[in-house]
Structure 1
């Protein structure tokens, strides 16, 4: 049984095709603020796969999601949009207004929590760096920060005379030139925030997103686990649980 899993974020469209729970195809592309147009370009390819089901996580607004849904109807298979619930599969949302929590964050937490006695910290290192805390099956809320590159770009745009080329965020030593000072300072700031959170709320640390290996390198004392496809895991759990009801 083939299934399509779509993760439509703020800047990228990522998809997986699974057959009998094994990923047989995956890809990610920038959607340039028009995910529906990108999806329309992929729909013929998806038609040829003879899919049986589509599960989707989308952080887009209502108008974009309606366009996306119309395009997916061309596949003539069941399509399920994941949404945040006050409680789902035992997991309770920590937000005062449930709909304000991003579906990506909700699914990543849903993928991880399985022990009522465990404390969790789920960090997504994507376009934004998000930190979500859970006490067993109770989501506690979290934090959202600009990621490494957003912070650097903001500094470049707002500081005259500083031209920062691409460089690796891989050291915490004091910078001995402007380029290193910027990169090392931004990385130090984000790591310090994460460590502050973890020291206040000791718990199991799970990292996901493109920069997860970089942050894991500097957070070894917290024994981090890296889960590259955490959102996919959460989306699959969501769909599997939803179809049982």
Structure 2
């Protein structure tokens, strides 16, 4: 058995491969790493015959070290860290300094484009919202802007009278124009994000003269999808799929 972990800014995702069969195990809040609860929630406790464990991380050094220690204690092996590279599996990084491209973005790029025959646009909507594009195995580069929660928290922290604003636990049905502050923030940030994504895709397709296959990922992508002009394929575990392809290339 092989196990894959992706430690992001907010969540820990996991997948496993048993007898060459891949399975996405789900995602948990990264706070569960501290006492090892993530193992039980993801049904990874009491596993035997684990041969390899791979991980990538964009979290802080202390959270990453904690994950490594929990893996060592639980599985009696040291995990292999996967990082951004100048090229991998035939895909070339478009960053001037490849090591400064976030490993989550790099793995998502690989997961989306290694087997792609058309240009690919990858939109990830999580703590940050990122866009990356690949044409003919070459990563063109991308953008990073705040995600929905960051934008909403910024308004709450920096605007008078909004210090009591709380992020809703469930997406509410919104009218086109809001009649209260909470919905004004929710709808406004959704429209801002959707318009931004639509504009980037439109401008890049006009500039390159190519049509892109679009792939969405990240915990908040589905809340934006109804506002997007193009059809997207949603792949929740895109980063883990990229990690799997890297591991298979060794």
* TM-score, structure 1 as length reference: 0.84
Instruction: Tell me which residue corresponds to 2:132.
Output: 132
Instruction: Tell me which residue corresponds to 1:182.
Output: 185
With 64-73 and 124-133 compared, the bigger mean Cα shift is at: 64-73
Instruction: Tell me which residue corresponds to 2:197.
Output: 194
1:142-181 aligned at under 5 Å gives the runs 142-162=142-162, 163-165=164-166, 166=168, 168=171, 171=174, 173-181=176-184
SS in 2 for 1:222: coil
Instruction: Tell me which residue corresponds to 2:238.
Output: 230
The 1:121–1:170 alpha-carbon spacing in structure 2 relative to 1, beyond 3 Å, is: farther
- Unaligned runs of at least 5 residues, structure 1: none
- Unaligned runs of at least 5 residues, structure 2: 206-211
1:132-190 deviation line (CA, Å, top 9, x unaligned): 11122111111112111221111111112234342636547122222222211111111
With 65-74 and 120-129 compared, the bigger mean Cα shift is at: 65-74
SS in 1 for 2:96: coil
**Is this contact kept in 2: 1:115–1:137, CA < 8 A?**
no
Paired residues in the alignment total 237
Quote the offset at 1:17 in angstroms. 3.0
**Is this contact kept in 2: 1:31–1:38, CA < 8 A?**
no
Q: Following the alignment from structure 1 to structure 2, what is the Cα–Cα distance between the partners of residues 237 and 82?
A: 11
The 1:213–1:172 alpha-carbon spacing in structure 2 relative to 1, beyond 3 Å, is: same
CA RMSD of aligned residues (A): 2.7
**Is this contact kept in 1: 2:215–2:234, CA < 8 A?**
yes
- Mapped pair 1:210 → 2:219: yes
Q: Following the alignment from structure 2 to structure 1, what is the Cα–Cα distance between the partners of residues 183 and 6?
A: 34
